[in-house]
Structure 1
Amino acid sequence: MWMYLGLLAALFLGLHNLCKKHAVRNNETYTVLLGTLVAGFLLLLPLFIGSLWQPEYLQQIQLYVTPLSIKEHGYIIIKAMIMAASWVLAYQALKHLPITIVTPIRSAGPFFTFIGAILIYQERPNFWQWIGFFLIILSVFLYSQIGKKEGIIFKSNKWIYAIVAATFLGASSGLYDKFLIQSLNLNPPTLQFWFCTYTMLFIGAIVLYKRNKSIAVKQSFQFRWTIPAVGVLLQMADYFYFKALQDPEALIMLLSAIKRSQILIAVVLGGLLFKEKNKRKKLVPLFGILIGVFLILYSNK
């Protein structure tokens, strides 16, 4: 069951990435990010209020936001700090790079998760999972070669380093999620609400600082319908992802790989909608990534 929940998360993440590309295009990045977080917060706020006034009903429908200790809040704040840094880097990179380059690099997340799952959680891949792992690495390398034809030199482009750092931080957060869900027994609505709240405060502080520092920042922001859509789609994806992690049998390395199937939506539809170059050439490493994901997912059956 947890694999199907992971696929639902991937579906919403793919749609989320398309909306995010539209939201940040020629727009003020930090304010866009804050807008998505505010939208997610407003979506989750009724659950928090309902948990105070109608706890029995919210528990019955599994949307109850449980009270937390100070220590548990501290753990969630750590996650918020990690992801705030990851999102800032990713949004900036997405603004300056084609989505068909950004998305495959983001697909490298399972590499870091794969290693962390082995070292931290002692998850053990089999032979075909290792083949899938290295196939994805090779495919991402091929993407870097295609990127050079678009004027994106990976060694000298700072946005490439930004998206790589964002990917590493995102993978670290994924490993941390398993600890929060399975070791601390936090349920998805509780983790989502407080994580969104703290991240919104962190990004809000950055936005206030930048707006006070530069008038141009205030003038460069344009509201678009995709901004709240990004926040809503992300919360839906996170809900299914956290629900999948609640299963004691769920493997974070495989769940992370399942989520990478979002690249089919982002690369194919994104390339068509945003009319980016070299779409056909990018299909070759795209299929390499998909085959690698397939090997990781189904080789244990």
Structure 2
Amino acid sequence: MWIYLGLLAALFLGLHNLCKKHAVQGNEVFPVLFGTVFSGFLVLLPLYLGSIFFEEQLIKMQLYISEISWQVHGFIAIKSAIMASSWILAYQALKHLPITIVTPIRSAGPFFTFIGAILIYQEQPNTFQWLGFFLIIFSVLLYSKIGKKEGIIFKRNKWILAIIAATFLGASSGLYDKFLIQNLSLTPQTLQFWFCFYTVLILFIILSITWFPFPEKRKAFTFRWTIIAVGVLLVAADYFYFKALQDPDALIMLLSAVKRSQILIAVVVGGLIFKEQNKRKKLVPLTGIMIGVFLILYAT
């Protein structure tokens, strides 16, 4: 069951990435990011208020946001700091790079998660899982060669380094999620609400320094409906992802790989919408990544 929940998360993440590309075009990254996270927070806020005033009803609906200790608050705040850093780097890179280059690099997340899952959680891959793992690595390297034809030199482009750093931080957060969900027994909605709360605080502090004091930056900002859509879609994706992690049999390294199937939406649909270059050539490594994901799924 957790595999199918992971695929649902991938569907919403693919749509989330398309909306995110539209939201950041011609906009400052920080206010867009703040708007998306705040939108997600507003979606979850009724659940928090309902948990206070209508406790029994929310418990029956399995949407109750439970009370947590200050120590657990600290653990969630750490996750917020990790993901805020990852998103800031990823949004900056997405603003300056084609989505058909950014998304495949983000697909490298399972590599870091794969290694962390073995070292930290002692998850043991089999032969087919290793084959899928290395096939995905090879496909991502092939993307780098295609990127050079668009004037993107991977070794010299700072936005490439930014998206790689964002991917590493995102993978670290994924490993941390398993600890929060399984070891601390947090429900998805409890983790999501407080995660959004602390992330909003972090981004508000950043905006207070880099954006609010500058009228010219505020005037240059263009609100788009996709800013709200990104937040709502991310809440949906995270909910299904955390529900999958609640299963004791769920393997984080495989769940992370399953989520990469979002790349199909981002590369094929995104390439058509944003009319980016070399779409047909990018289908070759895309196929490699999808076969790699299939091998991991087949071996489960």
Same fold (TM over 0.5): yes
Unaligned stretches of 5+ in structure 2? Answer: none
The alignment status of 1:211 with 2:211, answered yes or no, reads: yes
3-state SS of paired residue (2:240): helix
Aligned pairs for 1:1-301 (under 5 A) are: 1-300=1-300
C-alpha distance after superposition, 1:193-239 (max 9, x if no partner):
00001001101111121124533321221000000000000000000
| Distance in 2 of aligned mates of 1:137 and 1:222 | 37
| Distance in 2 of aligned mates of 1:87 and 1:204 | 14
Code of the aligned partner of 1:249: D
Judge conservation of contact 1:210–1:217 (CA < 8 Å) in 2: no
| Distance in 1 of aligned mates of 2:221 and 2:28 | 5
C-alpha distance after superposition, 1:43-62 (max 9, x if no partner):
00000000001111111111
Alpha-carbon RMSD = 0.7
Judge conservation of contact 1:3–1:255 (CA < 8 Å) in 2: yes
CA shift at 1:296, angstroms?
1.1
Task: Point out the more displaced range, 113-122 or 200-209.
Answer: 200-209
Count of residue correspondences: 300
Task: Point out the more displaced range, 124-133 or 203-212.
Answer: 203-212
TM-score in terms of structure 2 length: 0.99
Code of the aligned partner of 1:82: I
3-state SS of paired residue (1:123): coil
Identity of aligned residues (%): 73
| Distance in 2 of aligned mates of 1:97 and 1:211 | 23
Code of the aligned partner of 2:233: L
| Distance in 1 of aligned mates of 2:256 and 2:279 | 25
